[in-house]
C-alpha cells in the first residue's frame, strides 16, 4: 500500500498509510499571528480520507498529535513508499452528516485545553506566567 514515511531532523515521526485510502495528505503549515502576541507558529499534519463503500460514509484518518510543532532549522523529510507495514492512524472518525464524531481523541482535547489555559494565564496573570 502507499505510505508516507516522515522524519523530523532524522527522527521517525510515522509511517502513515491505510489500505482503503482515497486521499493521503502531508502538510507543513507556518502561520503568523502578530495581533494576538502569540508570534510565529509552524506545524506538521499527516492525515487522509478513506474510500467509501456504497451507502457508507468516508472516514478521516490522522497520524500523530493534532499539531507537531516545528522550529526554524528543522529538517522535515517525506519518503513515499509501497509497503505492507504502516503505523495505525492515531484517530479515525466518520465523515458524514448523520453521525457526528469528534475529530480529536479525549487526550488531544485535553492537551488543546491545557494550551488554551496557558495562553489565558499569560494574558490575565502575566506575573504568574514568569
pLDDT of residue 87: 95
93-102, Cβ contacts within 8 angstroms, sequence gap of 24 or more: 93/59, 93/60, 94/57, 94/58, 94/59, 94/60, 95/49, 95/57, 95/58, 95/59, 95/60, 96/57, 96/58, 98/57, 99/57
pLDDT of residue 124: 86
Strand order, beta sheet including 58-70: 21-33, 39-50, 58-70, 91-95
First vs last C-alpha separation in the chain: 49
pLDDT of residue 15: 96
pLDDT of residue 110: 87
Q: What are the backbone angles phi and psi of residue 6, rounded to the nearest 5°? A: -120, 135
Q: Give the residues across from 7 on adjacent strands.
A: 12, 77
For 107, the 3-state DSSP assignment is helix
> What string of pLDDT tens digits covers the 130 residues of the chain?
999 999 999 999 999 999 999 999 999 988 887 666 566 778 899 999 998 777 778 889 999 765 567 888 999 999 999 999 999 998 888 777 666 777 777 887 888 888 888 888 888 887 765 5
- Report the C-alpha gap between 87 and 95 in whole angstroms: 21
The dihedral built from the CA positions of residue 22, 26, 32 and 37, taken in this order, carries a sign that is positive
Amino acid at each position: 500500500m502507499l505510505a508516507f514515511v516522515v522524519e523530523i531532523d532524522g527522527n521517525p515521526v510515522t509511517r502513515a498509510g491505510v489500505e482503503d485510502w482515497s486521499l493521503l495528505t502531508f502538510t507543513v503549515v507556518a502561520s503568523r499571528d502578530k495581533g494576538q502576541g502569540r508570534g510565529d507558529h509552524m506545524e506538521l499534519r499527516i492525515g487522509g480520507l478513506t474510500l467509501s463503500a456504497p451507502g457508507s460514509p468516508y472516514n478521516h484518518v490522522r497520524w500523530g498529535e493534532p499539531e507537531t510543532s516545528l522550529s526554524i532549522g528543522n529538517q522535515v523529510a517525506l519518503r513515499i513508499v509501497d509497503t505492507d507495514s504502516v503505523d495505525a492512524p492515531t484517530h479515525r472518525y466518520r465523515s458524514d452528516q448523520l453521525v457526528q464524531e469528534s475529530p480529536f481523541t479525549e487526550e488531544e482535547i485535553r492537551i488543546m485545553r491545557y494550551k488554551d489555559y496557558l495562553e489565558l494565564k499569560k494574558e490575565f496573570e502575566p506575573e504568574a506566567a514568569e
